[in-house]
Amino acid sequence: MFEEALYTHLSNVVGVKAIVQDRIYPLMIPQNKSLPAVTYQKVSGERLHSLHGDTGYTTPVFQISARAETYAQCKALAEEIRLCLQNFTGLMGGTDGIDIGAVLMLGEVEGYEPDTGGWYCYMDFQFHYEERVI
């Protein structure tokens, strides 16, 4: 599964791990978990088809979010995430991972959440790879 490969990749990057340790979550940060943290979620994606059916080539877009208590910490975490993903090619997620053809950063947005007192940076990355076709 792609999400497992993404989690493994993010959690093995020294710069990311130094800031968040193991606080990398799908979709949202669980209650009572501390910051800084990273979340990831699929926000869109396409599959390439031919006249014979699904080719297996896919380009999902995942939003990776850096969240922290200070703006400086949020920006530092976002930069580590960007550096480990932008323009990445190769095996993601270890020897049994997914062979990524390209990772393109599509955009980023940052801000402050007054309700929680936390800072965020949302980054959208498009991943290009072939998945198994049944």
Report pLDDT digits (tens) over 10-46: 999 999 999 999 999 999 999 989 999 999 999 998 8
The pLDDT assigned to 2 comes to 93
The residue-averaged pLDDT of 102-126 equals: 96
Element (H, E) at 57: strand 53-58
Q: How confident is residue 134, by pLDDT bands cut at 50, 70 and 90?
A: low
Share of the chain above pLDDT 90, in %: 79
Which pTM was predicted? 0.91
Q: Letter for the amino acid at 2?
A: F
When the pLDDT of each residue in the chain is averaged and rounded to a whole number, the result is 92
The residue-averaged pLDDT of 47-59 equals: 78
Decide: 82 and 65 in contact? Cβ < 8 Å.
no
Q: Please determine, for residue 133, whether its predicted confidence score (pLDDT) is greater than 70.
A: no
The residue-averaged pLDDT of 70-93 equals: 96
The residue-averaged pLDDT of 108-127 equals: 95
* Ramachandran area for residue 10 (φ above 0: left; ψ -120 to 50: alpha; else beta): alpha
CATH number of 2-130: 3.30.2000.30
Neighbours of 96 (CB within 10 A): 9
